Structure 1
Amino acid sequence: MRTKLISLLLCFFFCDGIAHASSVEYQVKTIAYKNLVGKLYLPASATKVPVVIAFGGSDGGMNFGEANGAMIAPNGIAVLALAYFKETGLPEKLDHIPMEYFISAIDYLETETAVDPARIGVVSGSRGSEAAFLLAIHDARIKSVAVTTPSNVVWNGPTEADAAWTFQGKNIPGLILPDGDRKTQVSRFLTALENQQNLQTVRFALEKVNGPILLVSAENDQIWPSLPMSQDILRYLNERKFKHPVTHKSYPTGHGFSKESAPEIKQSIIDHFLRTL
């Protein structure tokens, strides 16, 4: 699966600056908990603050998390910027990533006296949306989700024809992107999504998410069909009478959005967490 540009584009989007109406001072500290690689962006506050776990997609590393830390923390919400591959001590590739790693991030936050463990959210994008959804499905301590250019299903790892994610030592089944030299990458994803029988085994059980969801999709996504997949998520949750609010915003841009749309999207993410945590 050739999706190396996915999170690089999103990192460019998130790393661009945003003005903060009321900026709160914050400190950044490197965390030391089990095998986690991350930094905690902690706003100054006399009371416990909500916190968001932020991690990227197929680019790996810390860039996405750090950009979200700088974006969200000035609004009085702590951010745990997390890497889960392509850092020292972590896997080199997005293959067989254990969900227990992300669950350990929640465990860590429960040890931090400055944050409120009853108000934990998660933000990610693109392939990272898969981990964000899986985390919220498997752990009810996640109370709010925001994902950009998300998927409605689990996909196999990008470098091997095998699972990208595991849980309790077992592979989480994912769709395989079919070969097709004459097809665009988006059309290959759409072809894989047409197989309804396969779809049932890899679709996220999003009715288990314990809080509101924000979806942000790109109408001219050149990497994968984030708009149709977001629309499918809406249908799925509506059919199951999901008890929490779901917001979907789409923009007439490519996968990495645009400088014109970036300020509104960033503010939507901030507002979502201010409202739901």
Structure 2
Amino acid sequence: MKVITRELTTPWEAVLLEPDAGSNTGVLVLAGSSGQVDRQRARLLAEQGFLALAIRWFGGPGQPEGICEVPLETFVAAVDLLRSRGAERVGILGVSKGAEAALLTAVHEPRVDVVVAVSPTSLVWCNVGPGLDGRQRPYRSSWTWRGVPLPFVPLDDSWRPAGQGDGPVAIRGWYEQSERTFASHLDTAAIAVERARADILLVAGADDAMWPSLPYAQQLAARRHTVGAPVEVVARDDAGHRPRLPGEDPAAHSTSFLYGGTASGDTMLGQAAWLPILDRLRS
């Protein structure tokens, strides 16, 4: 399928990929804490007939350097753009912190029809990196809505990785310890997915070494079940934080973090999730 590519510079750096035959379904693609514009994932979706938009949602001009008090209106503006290009149905596909953003946007913006949350969290977490003021501490929310920071769980900076020398670190234990330390924050920081009108698909690996995305996915699904809202969890025991969709390159090696899972497990989880992703976007 021929795809028309447009590079955007306002209101954020982005790439818009449109099938030459047009599409009435748009997909916003959100990377995680890499901060990249996920062109490859957007192209895969455009080649399936969707209008795909991948944006830089932090780290660009006028944006916070880190994931710190990022306005959810950033993503609402992307929904507006997709609607303005003829999308009658809009989905958001986000991974990790991008999945957190996708879920929260759907909670606050009823025009989101589908969310695909890959390696999600069920909680609003504190900032990762500095805000517009250049400061990383004290901890602040990752997100704001209408200028108000969302309630969040801080990180417990007393945590230390166990027996991992100078190599890449698995930080899942940091999040798990922080939940115990700041247990009083959990209720107010929970992502209220039961309020979202969108259909929700959750993709998670049980061996995620960054944070416990499968337990988080199960918590999100339980909240949806309480109100009879549609939700599905696609999971594998041998997959980690970075499932790979069919046609995507293998995940790059990191010298900083351990992501968990195996290459084959990550590939097979992406394959298992691919048809449910396409089905929901096309419904």
| TM superposition score category, shorter chain reference | 0.7 to 0.9
2:5 to 28, 33, 37: 28
Question: Are the equivalent residues in 1 in contact too, given 2:224–2:231 (CA < 8 A)?
Answer: no
Q: Which residue of 2 aligns with 1:220?
A: 207
TM-score of the pair, normalised by structure 1: 0.81
Q: Which residue of 1 aligns with 2:39?
A: 66
Question: Are the equivalent residues in 1 in contact too, given 2:159–2:174 (CA < 8 A)?
Answer: no
Residue 229 in structure 1 maps to residue 216 in structure 2: yes
Structure 1 stretch 118-127 or stretch 225-234: which is displaced more? 225-234
RMSD: 2.1
Residues 171-190 of structure 1: pairs in structure 2 closer than 5 A: 171-183=149-161, 185-190=171-176
Question: Are the equivalent residues in 2 in contact too, given 1:127–1:150 (CA < 8 A)?
Answer: yes
1:276 to 256, 268, 280: 280
Q: How far apart are 1:270 and its partner, in Å?
A: 4.0
1:44 to 11, 20, 32: 20
Distance 2:185 2:192 in 1: 15
Higher helix share: 1
Question: Are the equivalent residues in 2 in contact too, given 1:95–1:158 (CA < 8 A)?
Answer: yes
Give the share of equivalent positions with the same residue, in percent: 25
Q: How far apart are 1:70 and its partner, in Å?
A: 1.8
Q: How far apart are 1:91 and its partner, in Å?
A: 2.5
Q: How far apart are 1:273 and its partner, in Å?
A: 3.8
Q: Which residue of 2 aligns with 1:139?
A: 109
* Runs of 5+ unmatched residues, structure 1: 1-23
1:159-217 CA-partner distances (Å, limit 9, x unpaired): 32111111111111110111234445322211232454311100011012222211111
Question: Are the equivalent residues in 1 in contact too, given 2:106–2:112 (CA < 8 A)?
Answer: yes
TM-score of the pair, normalised by structure 2: 0.79
Residue 259 in structure 1 maps to residue 263 in structure 2: yes
1:54-93 CA-partner distances (Å, limit 9, x unpaired): 011111131xx21211221111112111111123443221
1:153 to 116, 123, 138: 123
Change (3 A) 1:186 1:274: closer
Distance 1:92 1:246 in 2: 34
Change (3 A) 1:270 1:25: farther
Distance 1:266 1:165 in 2: 28
